[in-house]
Amino acid sequence: MILLRPANAVPTPDIPGVVLRPPAVTDSVALGRLYYESYDPGVASANLEEALEDIALTFENGYGVLTRSQLAFAGDQLVGAFLVVERAPWPDAPDCPFVIELFTARSHRRRGIAKLLLSTCSAVTVALRVDPGNAPAMQLYRSFGFQEG
């Protein structure tokens, strides 16, 4: 299901000890590991190698040109990622920035990191794809004003 959120300023949560910065190709291995470890086996990728390949493809613009993307760090540990492309390559995707991934380390969930990451793109209309059966994700996105689009 595709959800769309119009541009609408939302409060940026303050999470002590967590800093954001844009992703770089040099983050690929850490990002691939976090991507693999953040999902149940087989949901995002079948194994670590596949997750690393998917992240490499992301940096090669395989899903579109990255924009507005951010990584969250607690100290030197990568704990969250928000990967957004200018426009998704899929025919059913709306013509606006598209969130291709939002994930947090299992050890850092329910601390507001996903909300912090989402708040970085509140000034623009943005869309994403979500499994309607993923209740925690649906609740998060609805709380940010995402609606079926």
| pLDDT tens per residue, range 77-124 | 999 999 999 999 999 999 999 999 999 999 999 999 999 999 999 889
Instruction: Give the bridge partners for 71, in sequence order.
Output: 21, 81
pLDDT band at 41 (very low <50, low <70, confident <90, very high): confident
- Worst-scoring range by mean pLDDT, 39-43, 73-77, 135-139? 39-43
What was the pLDDT predicted at 7? 87
Reported as a single tens digit per residue, the pLDDT across 45-73 is 999 999 999 999 999 999 999 999 999 99
Residues near 53 by beta carbon (within 8 Å), at least 6 away in sequence? none
Residues near 4 by beta carbon (within 8 Å), at least 6 away in sequence? 94, 96, 125, 126, 127, 146, 147, 148, 149
What was the pLDDT predicted at 10? 75
* Tokens found for residue 25: 């190709």
Record the pTM: 0.93
What was the pLDDT predicted at 113? 95
Give CA separation, 77 vs 18, 27, 87, 104, 148, in Å: 10, 11, 29, 11, 34
